[in-house]
Amino acid sequence: MSAIFETRMSALTNLKAATHSPQMARRLPLTPAGIACRLLLAAAFCFLTLPRLALASDINGAWQRQPTGTLAWLRAVQFIDRGRGWAVGGSGALLSTIDGGKRWTIARRPTEDTLHDVYFTDAAVGWLVCERSIYALETEDEPRSYLLKTVNGGITWTRVEVTKGEAEAVLVRLEFAPGGVRGWAFGEAGVLFATEDGGARWTRQSLPTKHLLLGGALFDGQQGWLVGAGLTALRTVDGGLTWREGGVTLETVGVVAPRTRLRAVSFIDERRGWAVGTGGVVFATSDGGRTWRATPTPTDAELFDVKFFDATEGWAVGEAGTVIHTTDGGATWRVEPSLTTHTLESLCFADRAHGWAVGFGGTIIAYGPAAPTNPVRPSFRNV
């Protein structure tokens, strides 16, 4: 494709030079034959120009609303490829799609409890993070949080107890390392449960914080990060056996640390990562989370999720329908139209050109190639 494009551009350059030269003008007098020749040259010009316009259109993307048929507050979304995805939310709301969200199906609710997160390790095995209302608890020792697991793509779900002996523990997020064997479930008061066998057994891990944990990333089975309230930024390099706090620099943006929440974190390798939270600020690290540097963005909206593809391009979403985008590693950000004013809580990309964000009021927006515009056809008048 690129070779063809370059060949056409070279021909176009030569053609434009020829048709605008005095010699060519003298060679094509205003006779019937000369006019016909000029029309042929104009047609060739259109042939060479239109592919360039179409190519430029194809590489642009845009966010569009997707109909969901629900007003539930959607808390999380995950896709395992361009077609198959799930979204979850309040009162057991569970949606699924097999066509990239063109049609969302409202599944039978596996529970009436709040679904905070969804995580599929493959097309068959998936997990839900569930929280019961304190008013729905029947006994004092009934756990407030539990997991639901499916092994058939969400057709049926089985309850998995994680917080045994800690009935008050509240889980909000779940992360697995690639392969789906090692994972973490974490949440309020610095609670963290870990599995090393794909979720068959979960054990409590000790952390150097009691703050609410809101986001995490597992790069592999050993290295990972957790972020949360009070500017909590933790890292481990031994699978969670030990944790260290990262240093966060705030001078450039003037954020007050005790009031700052980090809601999500995204890493592209063992060293480079970004975290988002209160006040529209993005924090970046280039040393594996040992230190974090704050950079401003064009918004002061709270940011709820962030995803980076590589060292240059990333997205973040947040309250009031905020969507921001960077193509220079977070040095600068620009606000993108989202077609919604509802808070967006979760963000997922199947690849660079296909993404989804979910939030309040059953909102789902999808990112994809923009519809190609009809190029203006050149006029043959005064050729």
What distance separates the 2 farthest-apart alpha carbons in the chain? Answer: 98
Give the helix/strand (H/E) hosting 52.
Answer: helix 32-58
| pLDDT recorded at residue 54 | 35
Low-confidence ranges of the chain (pLDDT < 50): 1-28, 35-37, 39-59, 256, 372-383
Give the helix/strand (H/E) hosting 35.
Answer: helix 32-58
DSSP per-residue codes, 67-85: --S----EEEEEESSSS-E
DSSP per-residue codes, 240-259: TSS-EEPEEE-TTTT--GGG
| pLDDT recorded at residue 371 | 53
**Domain co-membership, 309 together with 351:** yes
**Domain co-membership, 297 together with 347:** yes
Let me know if residue 383 belongs to a domain: no
Contact 187, 224 (CB under 8 A): no
CATH number at residue 205: 2.130.10.10
Domain endpoint, select from 39, 58, 77: 58
Contact 368, 60 (CB under 8 A): no
**Domain co-membership, 54 together with 69:** no
Contacts of 363 (CB under 8 A, 6+ apart): 65, 68, 74, 340, 342, 344
Contact 306, 274 (CB under 8 A): yes
Distance of CA 316 to the CA centre of its chain: 7
Both tokens of residue 170? Answer: 């509240």
The domain of 262 spans 62-369
| pLDDT recorded at residue 288 | 96
**Domain co-membership, 27 together with 162:** no
Instruction: Give the strands of the sheet with 94-97, arranged side by side.
Output: 74-79, 85-89, 94-97, 105-106
pTM, whole model, 2 decimals?
0.81
| pLDDT recorded at residue 141 | 87
**Domain co-membership, 36 together with 77:** no
Let me know if residue 374 belongs to a domain: no
**Domain co-membership, 106 together with 127:** yes
**Domain co-membership, 235 together with 314:** yes
Contacts of 313 (CB under 8 A, 6+ apart): 325, 326, 327, 352
- Other Cβ atoms within 10 Å of 104 Cβ, number: 21
**Domain co-membership, 242 together with 150:** yes
| pLDDT recorded at residue 260 | 83
**Domain co-membership, 280 together with 267:** yes
Cα distance between residue 259 and residue 256, in whole Å: 6
**Domain co-membership, 170 together with 99:** yes
**Domain co-membership, 169 together with 308:** yes
Let me know if residue 379 belongs to a domain: no
Cα distance between residue 278 and residue 301, in whole Å: 7
Which residues, in sequence order, are bridge partners of residue 267? 273
Structurally, the chain folds into a number of domains equal to 2
Contact 372, 55 (CB under 8 A): no
| pLDDT recorded at residue 31 | 58
Cα distance between residue 104 and residue 71, in whole Å: 13
Length of the chain: 383
Which residues, in sequence order, are bridge partners of residue 265? 275
Domain endpoint, select from 17, 41, 58: 58
- Label residue 99 exposed, middle or buried (CB < 10 Å: 0-12, 13-18, 19+): exposed
